Amino acid sequence: MSKGDKFLKWFFSGRGIVDERFKQELGKVATKTLMVFFGVQLIFLLGFGMYMFLAPIKDFETVAAILWICEMLGTSAIFLGMEFVLIHRKVFVQELPEAKAKKAIRHLKFEWALRALFFGIGYWLLTSWLEMGKAGYIAQLFKPESIRRGVLGFVLWGAMMYGIQRWQLRKAKEDD
């Protein structure tokens, strides 16, 4: 598998073989996503631009914050929509013989538990650093609230990613 193919699988958290049909489906969905993204951006920025130039705005910082939130949410929603379409079209489905499938499921559990653990620790360290007050980093780090958020992030993200990938991993069907 080429580096580009590996990157595609990593980027979309996909399983399965990156073959020409995979790339063709991805290309079709990506083209439509780009068209939707362009259309949404155009309409949103035109509307927002008209508001900015015509309305008597005094607080531009709030306007910038609103613009940032809308862009973040909109872009994320469009990308997630693309991911869901790809999942719905079963592009990422990996079929394995029964014996291999059992082993792959065990490996998948271990893989996501480990990734989620690192994610949880990273999230805990980072949010504690961002939110530390006068009490200092260590005090913030061991606040029950900081630990609870880290653990929750670790459990939720790990479980969600395991669930998505487990759904894509299937026992090979008989010929149909």
| Residue ranges that bind another protein, judged by CB under 8 A | 16-17, 19-22, 90, 93-95, 97, 172-176
DSSP 34: H
User: What would the two tokens of residue 58 be?
Assistant: 């005094």
**Residue 104 vs 147, nearer CB to another protein:** 104
CA atoms 171, 156, 15, 36: torsion sign: positive
Nearer to another protein, 21 or 106 (CB): 21
Structure tokens of 6? Answer: 């590996």
State the nearest-atom distance from the C-beta of 108 to another protein, in Å.
Answer: 18
Min dist CB 95 to another protein, Å, is 5
Torsion of CA 85, 99, 4, 14, to 10 degrees: 20
Q: How far is the CB of 4 from another protein (least distance, A)?
A: 15
Both tokens of 12, joined, read 């979309």
CA-CA distance, 159 to 74, in Å (whole number)? 25
Which residue lies nearer to another protein by CB, 12 or 157?
A: 12
Going by the DSSP 8-state scheme, the letter that residue 169 receives in this structure is E
Cβ–Cβ < 8 Å for 96, 104: yes
User: Which one, 22 or 154, has the nearer CB to another protein?
Assistant: 22
Report in angstroms how near the CB of residue 20 gets to another protein at its nearest: 5
